[in-house]
Structure 1
Amino acid sequence: MSSNAFTEFKPALLAALEQLGMTSDVGRADLLLAYLQQLQHWNKAYNLTAIRKPEDMLIQHVFDSLAVVPVLRQHRHGRDTLVADMGSGAGLPGIILGICQPDWRIVCVDAVGKKTAFIRQAAGALGLPNVRALHGRIEAMESLQADIVVSRAFASLVDFVEISAHHRADDGVLWAMKGQHPEDEIRQLQATGRWAVVSNTTLQVPQLSAQRCLLELGPKESHDYR
């Protein structure tokens, strides 16, 4: 697909940014579409996603990742931030966060070498010096001391905290992007006696009817679910 074809998605992207309250990010639309083009172009070689049509990638990957940006911005209040995207895959949401927050440092972590290779390639092509890829097993790495540790449809809540929690800074926060509200996973997490869901934000992803939510996780001794 030519680059001209991708510009056809710009009205839909601008409408999505407005719906998400991100009108200040309209200047980043071309960069977001350039990422979409990178994803579509390299998908066959790297097997990054089972979604093949770029119009579906736009909604299910780009819009889905954009939906968490306002929440994370509110949490950090624009401060210098290190984000660790666990099981990043095609750089989702890491690259999207890197585009929207050029003052944040993003580390996209994945155990699959071809996926981190794509993230490096895409970050270079898009001119994102704030995004880097790290290849390896999350649980075996030394702590990244991240302000935000995030995952998108990566693992159960229990597995997420077990393998990723040591990567957060002392005042850092774990965020898990999920589909339908995961009642069973929340009960299993709370049953560990060590972690709890601090907050649950329902995400309204433009043009997507499926349910999405963002869960903030914290040590159980300091938080109760609300």
Structure 2
Amino acid sequence: MSGTPFPEFQERLEQALDALGMQADHSRIPTLLAYLQQLRHWNKAYNLTAIRDPGKMLVQHVFDSLAIVPGLRARWPDRALRVADMGSGAGLPGIILAICQPDWSVVCVDAVGKKTAFIRQAAGVLGLKNVRSEHGRIESMDSLQADLVISRAFASLSDFVRVAAHHRAPGGTMLAMKGQDPVAERAALHADTGWCVTHAVELSVPEMDARRCLLELECEQAPTGPEGTS
């Protein structure tokens, strides 16, 4: 990568990282901005996101994904995780996690071939050897045996569990990034699947007024089927 793209966003990204307690990650700014450049460029052909303005992409995609990093680091400070990002779309949050945690192995899964092709392209341009993309239906794929199965604005909590729970390794964790805490989805999750939300963290996303949260899901019943649900 020659030069840093979007130099006008450099200071905003520095401030966002500082606000998240990620001062040590300033060295990752060129890679984060290079990802943003790839997203804007390929979005024209691949329709990766409805957001067209790069400044809004910075906040609603990059900052939003960065907001979960401090909590994940605190929980797994010295462990190289295997992460499966379900319904990854443009690689969010998977690529952002891979940039911030080069010792983690990240698989970005999506049913849309153009999106997994973009992830593959972006990972190559950014030199992210810890990222791979998988094209296919999540529920039909063999288990990825991930330590962390995560989704961002992907599906209802019940649907997330139904299609993705079998990708969790024994002892692994399932996390869903959501907007405002979805009370109705929580109730349906427990009633429909036997899973429940065991932990909820309100996220503070720099420059974003909307409410965001990270939910941890766990099964209250022993799994009886290939999808890991009862």
Give the alignment's TM-score, normalised by structure 1: 0.95
Runs of 5+ consecutive residues of structure 2 not aligned to the other structure? 223-230
Equivalent AA in structure 2 for residue 50 of structure 1: A
Runs of 4+ in 1 over 6 A off after TM superposition: none
Measured in 1, the distance between the counterparts of 2:208 and 2:194 equals: 34
Deviation string, structure 1 residues 165-192 (Cα, Å, up to 9, x no partner):
0000001000000001100000111113
Measured in 2, the distance between the counterparts of 1:54 and 1:166 equals: 36
Residues 79-88 or 186-195, more deviating? 186-195
Q: Secondary structure at the match of 2:6?
A: helix
Measured in 2, the distance between the counterparts of 1:143 and 1:120 equals: 20
Equivalent AA in structure 2 for residue 167 of structure 1: H
Give the alignment's TM-score, normalised by structure 2: 0.93
What is the number of residues matched between the two proteins?
Answer: 220
Q: Cα 1:23–1:108, aligned 2, differ >3 Å: closer, same or farther?
A: same
Aligned partners of 2:5 and 2:37 also within 8 Å: no
Aligned partners of 2:5 and 2:33 also within 8 Å: no
The structural deviation recorded for 1:200 is 0.2
Q: Secondary structure at the match of 1:214?
A: strand
Residues 189-198 or 5-14, more deviating? 189-198
Equivalent AA in structure 2 for residue 220 of structure 1: E
What are the within-5 Å matches in structure 2 for residues 1-80 of structure 1?
6-80=6-80
Pair 1:208 & 2:229 matched: no
Aligned partners of 1:202 and 1:212 also within 8 Å: yes
Runs of 5+ consecutive residues of structure 1 not aligned to the other structure? none
Measured in 1, the distance between the counterparts of 2:5 and 2:119 equals: 23
Q: Secondary structure at the match of 2:30?
A: helix
Measured in 2, the distance between the counterparts of 1:12 and 1:116 equals: 29
Equivalent AA in structure 2 for residue 182 of structure 1: P
What are the within-5 Å matches in structure 2 for residues 76-87 of structure 1?
76-87=76-87
Match of 1:134 in 2: 134
Measured in 2, the distance between the counterparts of 1:203 and 1:80 equals: 23
Measured in 2, the distance between the counterparts of 1:80 and 1:98 equals: 11
Identity %: 64
Deviation string, structure 1 residues 70-129 (Cα, Å, up to 9, x no partner):
122222223011000000000000000000000000000000000000000000000000
Q: Secondary structure at the match of 1:192?
A: helix
Aligned partners of 1:193 and 1:220 also within 8 Å: no
Alignment root-mean-square deviation, CA? 1.2
What are the within-5 Å matches in structure 2 for residues 81-160 of structure 1?
81-160=81-160
Measured in 2, the distance between the counterparts of 1:178 and 1:71 equals: 15
Q: Secondary structure at the match of 1:142?
A: coil
Measured in 1, the distance between the counterparts of 2:73 and 2:4 equals: 32
Residues 190-199 or 81-90, more deviating? 190-199
